[in-house]
Structure 1
């Protein structure tokens, strides 16, 4: 064990895996490692997120989104890049206009970029993305549907994990934080540099074995791949280990000491191979050697010129294979694929992200036919978790099942996941291994099964013990607020919803707070909360109707008529969209 964390595959772990070692930032690293830094700046990893520069963007565009009926605009206003959404009614009249200055671009731009705005306390995603392959603005992944969140999707610290170097979480709140290093930097692969810097400042000529920093090429394959997997392993579901989150991971340690990623298990008890990690692990090339790993082909300090890519990757293949290994004659290989091994053995295939395709990472013979869809019958961990305690594995699988069921509630293959998760978490709790995350999810499951009293007790337990504004505290507060609301104990509901809205900015919470405030006799606070609801979700019909009733009761007929009209127009618009989705 090393600082409470098992370090498999490494006899003497780097000392910077200690959670007490601090980060120093890429600028400090570059002072001594200028050449390495310059090579890194040529790679796409260094462009994972950037502060937006309107001069580099296509800043004049207008298009109509047929599925939702909305209009979208990209424009330049002074030094700001503006993204705008216009909601239109059944007759084409403008019902609402929302716009935000963009602060960051997400993604390297190889396939496209998404965009981030900041509303003063929270980050959010723009519904617009730029797609390099088509050279056009279009809806962001997941938004090309009639009903989408518009500017309503807020981004948590988890969303930024694979794009930024470091963040400062405000008192532990995953929804409110500042970004300390805007790009993926040196320390995301080499670990925090505080000890390394101190060693060489004290002794600039130190020449011995240096265990104050991580060199991925000197790690075991498991630990080296974990550095890549922290971002490139995105399976069907995942669970953080108790009292851990993504940002706790440190290079040189097993990823499974922080989180477990799960993939669907199919009817024949095999795993569905969808991600790059699973695909690579299913390859015979990977299974029959200990040397093949991510950095065999992807050198994070080397950018391969476009004109050299075929020869570069072919040379890697030929380090194990020979030119005679291929069953196709040389002339046919050149004619068919320009003698490019990857075209046949790692073909580009479409993804769930519109307009993009990535190379399949199961190295082998591909038929070109789509894989038949088989029903999922369970979840399996992608990585080896055999060394983790049984209760840890039980807890994490339960959390992953809960997540999968929440994300696809109508899927009959997951209809029993809630019950299965609840049984497992009850066993975990009875064994004395419960934590705030597990207890919160158990409370939510109890609520979903009609056991409100048990749900309330569990949520109160979390709120009493979890003093920092963490996700478990937030979800437990929301659950207590909702239970009080249902009991029509509006003063208590308002108390909880006030804290929820301080921690997270969601229209549902503001609406519930507005109704609770009005029913508690706090009309001014109700109006403020309902207006905030509409600011976040202009199409919120119930908020318009409730405001209309409040203004009517206060003799403000003009405002009452305005919100009543908007409620009717938005209701008709939503009804038409519903009809469209059923056609």
Structure 2
């Protein structure tokens, strides 16, 4: 990374929970003068101009009240279930949370950021972020509540015009506030976690998404799930019945889907829309996350990937479908063991109902335990394990893998594997093998990018490289290949992949940040500028693209033009520290050190938790020749984030300037560990070894860099110099 580089690839939707930010693109060769950081991706740009959908958007749901006219018992019962109130406005249901300040204030244990949930005098719900010891406060209003409250309630807001998840979740079982799932890391999402259509898919009726945004929608979010998610669009059915038409009573009605008339596997697929999350989900060609009717077989809509030879004790909160398939009961039932055998989708059932489901196949006398014959015995209490899930904290859930004796050898850890298999493939007809290969590559890329599992990166590169040749129309595969190759340092290949997307779909926008970053890292600033100008022409509200365009202009010495672009980015999100910091670098490079200091201090005011603030002031101190002050500020930045690679690099350079090889080596080794794709760490560490007279160690450091970034020109030139006996 360049100093103060904060760029994260703006990725497409593949997973909702457990996702990690995309790895940064490799840096360009070192430059002695600190330059502006790349802009962080827009979590939620403001919709200034409408963007047309490329596929017909879904019809708005008629609402459960239409069905209630003829089916009041079913609709009333459904609305009392968790699915019946899965997403709603804060004032739509009685609050179950404890908003007292001592209960509703949580400090993130690693970052030290403090969060508070509260209700203001007008009855509006908020979540606030603060930094202890400073005056910094940032509050975002809660617009929607997600979750029935049986286990959790999470919260959604709007930032820059897009839907985001809030940092705090209410955990009902323990009656506590704590960080939302995925917020346990130091570099968590704060108020920037986009709630993409794939995330909303299982929380409400589908809402039309705004194309080429991460989490923008063209209509208000649908409130909760209704009948359409299992029965399909009722428009024709309602019209016929309102006109007194329709088939005779007891006969199939083709105008509506009745899952009870489907075979067992097809019934399972209805539930597996949401109760088979998998490790990655990839849409089939031409499908959208905001357009699905259950009359389309699920396997013809999406691939859901799970690990091969799955098993072991770990299970997720939405793993029911997959874990049930591991059960001997399911495997021997011939498809007859469906979810509705134990669960009535139209009402909450007591345990006794579920016991009767077991008694349909098993005699009470068959149970090896004495209590099995008791009329009120709950079979699941012994044969289905209850425990914590591997993706949501503070909850107790039922593992749907039915076993004689959960535990013991059955709960041995699952053997390591990175092999992913499509759980729906066995019922999919006429699948295109080329597209299936591309989808599998996209799934591995998703496991790498969104779940932070680097073991999947090589497999993603291998499968996607082959997949795009066999299925060249799969644009998301080209985009994923570009990001994967960039992460491995294969910049020419990444450039070619992104160029293919541009050629085939010039209207696509989000990938252009990654494309421009690759071009910038290759030194092709003019091309990077062209790509980013196209992005802002396509989306005038694309704040990250305005900021990155300004960075590229600044690198070309066009400081006045850069300031104009930074101002556009700042107007879209005037609370972001990164834009103020970038403007400071631009002013400094234009020779206006006083202006630079104003911007840098404004960045600190906007976000005193960000190490970028003291780091940038440290770079300004270096420009002024104030090495001691620079050292103090870099130390301050590293207190905020000990793995902040830009501060480690410049602090190491200060140590090199005073020939403190031990301190320089320590910081450069930490820098390489924190950011193994920053070429400057390897080159400067090689310089340290040369100063120490160890040419062999210098070569080994550079070879380590070559392994991480094959063919990088700066590494190759340095290796050649060391081999020839020259200094660096």
Is the structural similarity TM-score above 0.5?
A: yes
User: Does the alignment pair 1:512 with 2:548?
Assistant: yes
CA distance in 2, matches of 1:173, 1:234: 23
Aligned length, in residue pairs: 540
Residue 446 of structure 2, aligned match among 393, 397, 403 = 403
The change in CA–CA distance for 1:550 and 1:312 in structure 2 (over 3 A counts) is: farther
Give the secondary structure class of the aligned counterpart of 1:248. coil
Q: Which moved more, 1:553-562 or 1:292-301?
A: 553-562
Give the secondary structure class of the aligned counterpart of 2:106. strand
| Residues 103 and 116, structure 1, Cα contact 8 Å, conserved in 2 | yes
In structure 2, the partner of 1:260 is 303
Give the secondary structure class of the aligned counterpart of 1:166. coil
Give the secondary structure class of the aligned counterpart of 2:191. helix
In structure 1, the partner of 2:150 is 110
Deviation (angstroms), 1:418: 3.0
TM-score by length of 2: 0.67
Give the secondary structure class of the aligned counterpart of 1:53. helix
The change in CA–CA distance for 1:323 and 1:382 in structure 2 (over 3 A counts) is: same
Aligned pairs for 1:173-192 within 5 A = 173=213, 175-177=215-217, 178-179=219-220, 181-192=222-233
The change in CA–CA distance for 1:465 and 1:230 in structure 2 (over 3 A counts) is: same
TM-score by length of 1: 0.82
In structure 1, the partner of 2:673 is none
Deviation (angstroms), 1:555: 5.1
The runs of 5 or more residues in structure 1 that have no matched partner are: 1-17
Give the secondary structure class of the aligned counterpart of 2:552. helix
The change in CA–CA distance for 1:169 and 1:310 in structure 2 (over 3 A counts) is: closer
Residue 459 of structure 1, aligned match among 454, 479, 498 = 498
CA distance in 1, matches of 2:387, 2:579: 39
Give the secondary structure class of the aligned counterpart of 1:197. helix
The change in CA–CA distance for 1:555 and 1:21 in structure 2 (over 3 A counts) is: closer
Aligned pairs for 1:414-429 within 5 A = 414-429=456-471
In structure 1, the partner of 2:345 is 300
Richer in strand (by share)? 1
Residue 280 of structure 1, aligned match among 296, 300, 324 = 324
Give the secondary structure class of the aligned counterpart of 1:416. helix
CA distance in 2, matches of 1:439, 1:579: 35
CA distance in 2, matches of 1:233, 1:410: 20
In structure 2, the partner of 1:9 is none
Aligned pairs for 1:116-515 within 5 A = 116-119=156-159, 121-171=161-211, 173=213, 175-177=215-217, 178-179=219-220, 181-204=222-245, 206-207=247-248, 208-265=251-308, 274=315, 275-289=319-333, 290-304=335-349, 309-330=350-371, 339-352=377-390, 353-369=392-408, 370-385=411-426, 387=429, 388-407=431-450, 411=454, 413-429=455-471, 434-448=473-487, 450-466=489-505, 473-486=508-521, 487-489=524-526, 491-492=529-530, 494-498=532-536, 502=540, 509=545, 511-515=547-551
CA distance in 2, matches of 1:515, 1:159: 32
Deviation (angstroms), 1:72: 1.4
The change in CA–CA distance for 1:22 and 1:75 in structure 2 (over 3 A counts) is: closer
| Residues 226 and 254, structure 1, Cα contact 8 Å, conserved in 2 | yes
| Residues 58 and 290, structure 2, Cα contact 8 Å, conserved in 1 | no
Deviation (angstroms), 1:548: 7.1
Deviation (angstroms), 1:245: 2.5
Deviation (angstroms), 1:75: 1.8
Give the secondary structure class of the aligned counterpart of 1:129. strand
The change in CA–CA distance for 1:354 and 1:499 in structure 2 (over 3 A counts) is: farther
| Residues 248 and 258, structure 1, Cα contact 8 Å, conserved in 2 | no
Give the secondary structure class of the aligned counterpart of 1:150. coil
Structure 1, residues 526-573: CA drift from partner, whole Å, max 9, x if none?
A: 14425766734x488954853774898285477246247651189766
Deviation (angstroms), 1:257: 0.8
Deviation (angstroms), 1:100: 0.7
The change in CA–CA distance for 1:448 and 1:434 in structure 2 (over 3 A counts) is: farther
| Residues 284 and 364, structure 1, Cα contact 8 Å, conserved in 2 | yes
Deviation (angstroms), 1:25: 3.2
Give the secondary structure class of the aligned counterpart of 1:380. strand
Deviation (angstroms), 1:344: 1.1
Structure of greater Rg: 2
In structure 1, the partner of 2:723 is none
Give the secondary structure class of the aligned counterpart of 2:131. strand
Deviation (angstroms), 1:218: 0.9
The change in CA–CA distance for 1:219 and 1:26 in structure 2 (over 3 A counts) is: same
In structure 1, the partner of 2:614 is 568
RMSD: 3.5
CA distance in 2, matches of 1:230, 1:326: 34
Structure 1, residues 290-342: CA drift from partner, whole Å, max 9, x if none?
A: 321011112111113xxxx33222222112211112101128x97xx983211
| Residues 543 and 573, structure 2, Cα contact 8 Å, conserved in 1 | no
Structure 1, residues 174-225: CA drift from partner, whole Å, max 9, x if none?
A: 5310235211111011001122122223335752531110111111122211
CA distance in 2, matches of 1:62, 1:317: 45
Deviation (angstroms), 1:449: 5.1
CA distance in 2, matches of 1:20, 1:98: 35
| Residues 47 and 108, structure 1, Cα contact 8 Å, conserved in 2 | yes
Give the secondary structure class of the aligned counterpart of 1:66. coil
Residue 138 of structure 2, aligned match among 93, 98, 110 = 98
Give the secondary structure class of the aligned counterpart of 1:40. helix
Structure 1, residues 59-89: CA drift from partner, whole Å, max 9, x if none?
A: 343233332211111222213111001124x
Deviation (angstroms), 1:160: 1.0
